[in-house]
Amino acid sequence: MNLHLRQLKAFLGVAETSNFTRTAQKLHMSQAALSSSIRELENQLDCNLFERTTRNVELTEAGHQFLPTAARVVEELEWSSQQLKETHRVRCSRLRVGFTPTLAAHAFPEMLELFQRAHPQVHIDVVDEAPRRLQELVEGGSVDAAFGAFFQKASGIEQLPVSPSSLVLVHSNQDDTVGSSVEWSVLEDHALIALSDVSPVQQLVQSAVKRHNVKVRCAMTVSHLETAVALAERGIGVTVIPSFATAVCRRFKVNVARLQPPVRFNYCRIVKMGRPPNENLEYFTNLVIDRLRETETPWMVRARVHES
């Protein structure tokens, strides 16, 4: 059995008016289309729902029996449809985004301020978690979108590259022995303030030093990127961070150097696969893109122009 809402509405309309012409006008359809819908419904149910004469259209016994069921189904479907539309409207007026902790602290507040100026009616929340946890939240539908460098594949997730990135060296601005562009071998001359082994950034660093046969002397290991930069400011050692995170460096007396050969990857936005379009999210995504462009240091811009 394959009943359609169109057929049920046609049946209820004729049952109410007892007239095909008036019902067709009320439903904004041709009389032929209305008659066809009723015939299709009767064929599906294998019975006649109306007694048709030259003067009257009346419900048969089967029609009377089917009437309350059809009315209830149509009412519930229309109510459910209205509820879904309302839920979508509410969701569109609320946005929940995820960031890794560094950008949540150093870039999101400014993005939030800019977004609220343009969309004061939209409430926006931020979730600051590690990349793997953000992927889980997006996949589970708890977060509309998350931003970060995601190296682990996840099912049901769509990735949109937001900004190209690479690894950079951060050192105290009191150390004038490091230029604006250095090879990985520079790490042999400085103690490294490393991130923990579970950090995707640290895993990239370890892969690069192994590939280039660089012997690294580790000063200490910390869990947070901002801690590593603060220690680099004090001359405890140097650290390696993603170029998209250089916004944190503005609060410290440090310099940033491009590492050669470069280790490139993308800063991305992830969303759950198949999610409906959201204009608020697209606007916010463009703010993220613009903000990351602004945080690029001049040597990054020159490097990109030169390499292209």
CA torsion, ordered 237, 241, 244, 245, to nearest 10 deg: -60
Report whether 51 contacts 60 (CB < 8 A): yes
Token code pair at residue 102:
């560094």
- Quote the pLDDT of residue 307: 41
Identify whether the C-beta of residue 94 lies closer than 8 Å to the C-beta of residue 72.
Answer: no
pLDDT in tens, 229-250: 999 999 999 999 999 898 888 8
Alpha-carbon distances, residue 115 vs 89, 126, 182, 189 (angstroms): 19, 13, 38, 44
pLDDT, position 301: 42
pLDDT of residue 156: 87
What pLDDT is attached to residue 178? 87
Residue 86 is predicted with a pLDDT of 58
Amino acid at 18: S
Bridge partner list, 97: 126, 145
Asked if residue 147 lies in contact with residue 229, where contact means CB atoms within 8 angstroms, the answer is no
pLDDT for residue 264: 94
Cα–Cα distance list, 2 to 13, 29, 162, 171, 294 (Å): 20, 21, 45, 70, 57
Q: Tell me, what's the pLDDT at 302?
A: 40
User: Which residues, 6+ apart, have CB-to-CB distance to 36 below 8 Å?
Assistant: none
Q: How many CA atoms lie within 13 A of 128 on its CB side?
A: 10
Spell out the alpha helix ranges (H) of the chain.
5-17, 20-26, 31-45, 61-92, 101-106, 108-118, 131-140, 200-211, 225-233, 279-295, 298-307
Tens digit of each residue's pLDDT (9 = 90 or more) over 85-100: 655 554 558 899 999 9
- Integer Cα distance of 237 and 218 in angstroms: 9
Identify the segments of the chain with pLDDT beneath 50.
90, 297-308
At residue 254, the pLDDT reads 95
Rounded CA-CA distance 36/89 in Å is 36
